Chain A
Amino acid sequence: MPVRVEESNAPAQVSGTDPGNRSPLPPSSLLGAGQAFSGTQNVSNQQKEEAWRVNVQIQGIDLEHGYLCGTMEALNVPMADTPVITFWEGEIVDGKNYTFYTGKWEATREDDMRHWSKFPSFSPLQGQVESDGGRQLDLNNYPYIFMRWKEQYFVNVGTDCGLTIAGFYYVCFSCSDGSISGFYYDPNSSPFQKLELKTVNEGRSGFSFSSYELQ
């Protein structure tokens, strides 16, 4: 995020969370609305090693449209006095709404493959993805969920905060333990900034779940 870049991409055509109906079971209960994650994003560059603490919260998920959204909070950002919170929208690679190929945000197919292949859980899928983008894959029963998260706006600071949200994240979620790995991609930023998050439980000895229902 150290490079200031003019954001020019229009958001993708997506729907909000599925209203009126009972929310369908998320692909993993640990990826439901309200779930929180904590970890770091490695923002090291050639000059220095650096990692920012990051909190993520899922705010909505709509499987039918392959959509999810939430907030991301960067805690020890050198340029900011307070933690910086951004709102992001995500595309779930489900073969129906979205494939492994991004097709926008300045990401070529080569960029896509270079990033996805950094996830060990992607390697069994790589051959199929290279042949047809993964459209034939049954990802519903795969214990990892691949996503792209694109930050849309700053929640608590102005756009003049010296940070950019021009890039996006390639994300892999593990259904088993709820861990999240990701790589930030922005042609104008340091490559392969790694995001590593684990599910958090607010001092509880177990897992707790909230829910809401849109009308």
Chain B
Amino acid sequence: MPTTTSSSSSAAASSSSSGNRQADVFSRLASSDPEVKLKALREVKNQIIGNRTKKLSFLKLGAVPAIASALSDADDSDKCNNILVQSAAALGSFACGFEAGVQAVLDAGVFPHLLRLLTNPDEKVVDAGARSLRMIFQSNLAPKYDFLQEKNMEFLFSLLNSENENVSGLGASIIAHACGTSVEQRLLCDAGVLEKLVILLDGSLSQREACLESLATVLKNNPDAVSHFVGLEGGRYLSSVTELTKDRYTRTRLLSCLCLVVIYNTSPSYFLNMGTKSSLITTLLELLNDPGQSGDDAALGLSSLIAEKEDLQKLADEANAIKNIVDILKTGSELQPKRLQGLFLSLAELCSKLEDCRCSFLSLQVLDLLINALRHSDANVRTAACICFKNAARSIKNLSAGHFTNDNVMLPLVQLLHDPASSVQVAVLGALSNIVLDFSAPKSTFIEYGGIKQLIELSKSMDPNARCSALRALRNLMFLADNKRKEIFFSDVKAQGFACLISDPEPPVQEQALALLRNLVDGCISSIEFVFDEDCLILNTVGRQLRKAPQAQMAIQGMYVLTNVASGNELHKEAVMQQLFPQGEAESENFMLKFLQSHESQLRSATVWTIINLISPSSPGALDRHVKLRNAAIISQLKNMVNDACLDVKIRIRTVLGQSMSFGDS
């Protein structure tokens, strides 16, 4: 192993003398005298180890190509071995945790030369080459390694089989870096990589850590591989990984936790023991306090572990996760974006399902923290903060108490609708969708900030997801809205615009547009008039869409639009009849018959409600409408459904048949 033999540079050295020394080093690096060159290499290496500023300074001066030349010019003879070792070590140091350094090393074309070192007969050279390559493979910038090529797979296994811990560790690092697809996972497993990797679990610290990382990569979302891994030697290695979560080294604890998170997320059945789950959560929570990279990674690991899992969220809550995370966020120290992202995502997950968690989260006076995060320069942090807002705002109790309705919250959220990052835009639409559902306030803040206009703009986006999310937010905004708010919206979107939304090529967008319309025509009876604007343009569009045999979810919303319109006066009811029985169209089976036979109970229910409203006994034209429905075989269809599997549908059908009898139908 190369050792630091020359003294490191003094921090107090003047910049001019330092500049002179650097220039001198460059000339010596190019020297034809191997001893001079070797000394220069050592000097550079020792100066840059662990010193990011020095790395950058040498990088700018072109040190990497100079060292690369030293490496490539040296042959494999014994006398050059020291140069090989020192140049490889220096290059590895440039690449260690420093992306610009990795890029420079790769640009200098040293990759094949470093690989060549692995076959050098001198163990020290092999070791230096392997260490340097591991540094490179820890970066995303490292070249993709094609496992599909047989010779590459053979080479990988030759690395894993090596007695040299850095070489076998390199093999594991290559897997962790380059295995990204299920095909690659399968190929590696078929070739027996798991059996090789588990051996490293018993190896040195660096082997163990590389092994844990690569195990997580191979096992991720791969139930077959997890099953195979768990079955190896009767579960011994799963126990080993679990045991390593108590290791004295922080990084080892973190990596073993992340490996268990992957195994749990892939095959939860291997984690039936609540104690294991609980201790995994506790360890991750402890790791959050690590100030370094492990703490950053632990935050994302925790959010991944508890995502969508109510039982684990309960355990995390019992372990006081919310308070722990909020305390870290409140320390005031500058946290890495990755850690902030992980912490906010973890909070978001904790608030995703459990009302108690939402309440305890909001009771910790966290809104200011969240608002600051909305303005963070890193898009991932802004996105995570929006998701956190969104999930906290799933609490009807807190929405109803008006906890989200103030300028400090609303303004930054509305501003983020313009965010250049699409992930932020999608996330903020989700947050606003929930927050506008504020039952307590007139929602004027959102409207004052131009929120409606912006949502209408986004409902015309090229991205169908953005259109869908914007319409969902508008739908929620119009839930139980007063006429004034409805007017503001409608005067902007206009009948033509609304008809376009309902005719969107994407069914989920149509569904949201119809759900929005359903809310628009609910409430005060005068709201129904919106659908008659521009010569019934909107109502005609709804009828046309329903006659096109739409998907069930869209049909449900469409039928509720008709239900709500049919709950109005005679004119409204007749207008609905026009859509159900359009004049001049060829006689075909009425679409309501299909809806009544749908497997979706909600669609059957919505259809029956339309009929109930059309033949409401208090309305003068009910009898005529009943005759039309009977002639279209709809009443007889309902008679066949008196024992519908859905209680609600069954009850409504009996209501219709009761009304039907009052019209003389038997």
Name B396's contact: one of A25, A59, A206, A208 (CB within 8 Å).
A59
Assess the B434–A215 pair: CB atoms within 8 A.
Answer: yes
Say if the beta carbon of A19 comes within 8 Å of chain B.
Answer: yes
Closest to B400 in A: A87
Say if the beta carbon of A193 comes within 8 Å of chain B.
Answer: no
The complex places the Cα of A175 from the Cα of B646 at a distance, in Å, of 12
1/0 per residue A87-115: CB within 8 Å of B?
Answer: 10100000000000000000000000000
The complex places the Cα of A26 from the Cα of B646 at a distance, in Å, of 11
1/0 per residue A195-215: CB within 8 Å of B?
Answer: 000000111111111111111
Say if the beta carbon of B196 comes within 8 Å of chain A.
Answer: no
The answer to whether residues A87 and B476 also contact, given A29-B648, A34-B522, A215-B430 and a CB cut-off of 8 A, is no
Say if the beta carbon of B26 comes within 8 Å of chain A.
Answer: no
Assess the A206–B394 pair: CB atoms within 8 A.
Answer: no
Assess the B394–A214 pair: CB atoms within 8 A.
Answer: yes
Contacts of B652 in A (CB 8 A): 29
Say if the beta carbon of B553 comes within 8 Å of chain A.
Answer: yes
Closest to B399 in A: A59
Contacting B at CB under 8 A, from A51-89, are 57, 59-60, 67, 69, 71, 87, 89
Contacting A at CB under 8 A, from B522-560, are 522-525, 553, 560
Contacting B at CB under 8 A, from A10-39, are 11, 13-17, 19, 22, 25-29, 33-34
Contacting A at CB under 8 A, from B429-474, are 430-431, 433-434, 437, 439-440, 469, 472
Assess the B390–A209 pair: CB atoms within 8 A.
Answer: no
1/0 per residue A130-171: CB within 8 Å of B?
Answer: 000000000011010000000011010000000000000000
Closest to B620 in A: A205
The answer to whether residues A208 and B522 also contact, given A29-B605, A87-B401, A214-B394 and a CB cut-off of 8 A, is yes
Closest to A60 in B: B396
Name A59's contact: one of B394, B400, B472, B524 (CB within 8 Å).
B400
Report the minimum CB–CB distance from B466 to chain A (whole Å): 13
The answer to whether residues A29 and B476 also contact, given A204-B567, A214-B394 and a CB cut-off of 8 A, is no
Assess the A25–B601 pair: CB atoms within 8 A.
Answer: yes
Name which of B602, B609, B648 has the most chain A CB atoms within 10 A of its CB: B648
Contacting A at CB under 8 A, from B327-379, are 352-356, 358-359
Assess the B397–A16 pair: CB atoms within 8 A.
Answer: yes
The answer to whether residues A71 and B439 also contact, given A140-B647, A143-B647, A210-B519 and a CB cut-off of 8 A, is yes
Assess the A17–B609 pair: CB atoms within 8 A.
Answer: no
Say if the beta carbon of B619 comes within 8 Å of chain A.
Answer: yes
Contacting A at CB under 8 A, from B381-409, are 390-391, 394-397, 400-401
1/0 per residue B168-192: CB within 8 Å of A?
Answer: 0000000000000000000000000
Closest to A175 in B: B651
The complex places the Cα of A27 from the Cα of B605 at a distance, in Å, of 12
Assess the A59–B439 pair: CB atoms within 8 A.
Answer: yes
Contacts of A141 in B (CB 8 A): 647
The complex places the Cα of A74 from the Cα of B136 at a distance, in Å, of 70
Say if the beta carbon of A176 comes within 8 Å of chain B.
Answer: yes
Assess the B353–A153 pair: CB atoms within 8 A.
Answer: no
Contacts of B354 in A (CB 8 A): 13, 15
The answer to whether residues A205 and B602 also contact, given A16-B358, A211-B519, A212-B475 and a CB cut-off of 8 A, is no
The stretch from B16-24, B64-72, B411-419, B610-618 touching chain A is B610-618
Assess the B400–A212 pair: CB atoms within 8 A.
Answer: no
Name which of A57, A60, A87, A208 has the most chain B CB atoms within 10 A of its CB: A208
Say if the beta carbon of B569 comes within 8 Å of chain A.
Answer: yes
Assess the B612–A16 pair: CB atoms within 8 A.
Answer: no
Say if the beta carbon of B498 comes within 8 Å of chain A.
Answer: no
Assess the A202–B515 pair: CB atoms within 8 A.
Answer: no
Name A214's contact: one of B437, B469, B553 (CB within 8 Å).
B437
Contacting A at CB under 8 A, from B488-532, are 515, 518-519, 521-525
The complex places the Cα of A168 from the Cα of B524 at a distance, in Å, of 32
Contacts of B353 in A (CB 8 A): 15, 19
Say if the beta carbon of B229 comes within 8 Å of chain A.
Answer: no
Q: Is the interface of B mostly helix, strand, loop or mixed?
A: helix
Say if the beta carbon of B129 comes within 8 Å of chain A.
Answer: no
Name A211's contact: one of B479, B523, B568, B647 (CB within 8 Å).
B479
Assess the A213–B475 pair: CB atoms within 8 A.
Answer: yes
The answer to whether residues A25 and B563 also contact, given A34-B479, A212-B475, A212-B476 and a CB cut-off of 8 A, is no
The answer to whether residues A210 and B480 also contact, given A143-B651, A153-B401 and a CB cut-off of 8 A, is yes
The answer to whether residues A209 and B564 also contact, given A14-B355, A153-B401, A214-B434 and a CB cut-off of 8 A, is yes
Report the minimum CB–CB distance from B609 to chain A (whole Å): 6
The answer to whether residues A71 and B400 also contact, given A206-B612, A213-B515 and a CB cut-off of 8 A, is yes
1/0 per residue B141-159: CB within 8 Å of A?
Answer: 0000000000000000000
Assess the B560–A211 pair: CB atoms within 8 A.
Answer: yes
Contacts of B563 in A (CB 8 A): 206-209
Say if the beta carbon of B95 comes within 8 Å of chain A.
Answer: no
The complex places the Cα of A17 from the Cα of B393 at a distance, in Å, of 11
Assess the A25–B602 pair: CB atoms within 8 A.
Answer: yes
Assess the A15–B355 pair: CB atoms within 8 A.
Answer: yes
Assess the A27–B567 pair: CB atoms within 8 A.
Answer: no
Closest to B618 in A: A205
Say if the beta carbon of B566 comes within 8 Å of chain A.
Answer: yes
Assess the A89–B619 pair: CB atoms within 8 A.
Answer: no
The complex places the Cα of A57 from the Cα of B568 at a distance, in Å, of 21
Contacts of A25 in B (CB 8 A): 601-602, 605, 646, 648
The complex places the Cα of A203 from the Cα of B563 at a distance, in Å, of 15
Report the minimum CB–CB distance from A31 to chain B (whole Å): 9
Name B472's contact: one of A33, A204, A215 (CB within 8 Å).
A215
The complex places the Cα of A13 from the Cα of B353 at a distance, in Å, of 11
Name A87's contact: one of B397, B515, B646 (CB within 8 Å).
B397
The complex places the Cα of A25 from the Cα of B618 at a distance, in Å, of 28
The complex places the Cα of A57 from the Cα of B480 at a distance, in Å, of 10
Assess the B472–A213 pair: CB atoms within 8 A.
Answer: yes
Contacts of B394 in A (CB 8 A): 16-17, 19, 214-215
Contacts of A15 in B (CB 8 A): 353-355
Assess the A212–B567 pair: CB atoms within 8 A.
Answer: no
Report the minimum CB–CB distance from A33 to chain B (whole Å): 8
The complex places the Cα of A141 from the Cα of B647 at a distance, in Å, of 6
Contacts of B475 in A (CB 8 A): 211-213
Contacts of B567 in A (CB 8 A): 201, 204-208
The complex places the Cα of A27 from the Cα of B359 at a distance, in Å, of 27
Assess the A208–B564 pair: CB atoms within 8 A.
Answer: yes
Report the minimum CB–CB distance from B565 to chain A (whole Å): 9
Contacts of A89 in B (CB 8 A): 397
Contacts of B515 in A (CB 8 A): 211, 213
Contacts of B648 in A (CB 8 A): 25-29, 175
The complex places the Cα of A66 from the Cα of B602 at a distance, in Å, of 19
The complex places the Cα of A27 from the Cα of B609 at a distance, in Å, of 15
Q: Please name 23 pairs of A and B residues whose Cβ atoms are closer than 8 Å in the assembled complex, sorted by A.
A: A16-B394, A19-B391, A25-B646, A27-B647, A28-B648, A29-B609, A29-B648, A57-B480, A60-B396, A69-B396, A69-B397, A69-B400, A71-B439, A155-B400, A176-B651, A202-B523, A204-B568, A206-B612, A206-B616, A207-B613, A210-B518, A212-B476, A213-B472
Binding site for B on A (CB under 8 A): 11, 13-17, 19, 22, 25-29, 33-34, 57, 59-60, 67, 69, 71, 87, 89, 140-141, 143, 152-153, 155, 175-176, 201-215
Binding site for A on B (CB under 8 A): 352-356, 358-359, 390-391, 394-397, 400-401, 430-431, 433-434, 437, 439-440, 469, 472, 475-476, 479-480, 515, 518-519, 521-525, 553, 560, 563-564, 566-569, 573, 601-602, 605, 609, 612-613, 616, 618-619, 646-648, 651-652, 655
Given contacts A202-B523, A206-B567, A212-B519, could you give 4 more A-B pairs where the C-beta distance is less than 8 Å?
A: A26-B648, A27-B647, A87-B397, A209-B560
Of all A-B residue pairs in the complex, the 7 with the closest CB atoms, nearest first, are A206-B613, A206-B567, A60-B396, A215-B430, A204-B567, A212-B479, A210-B522
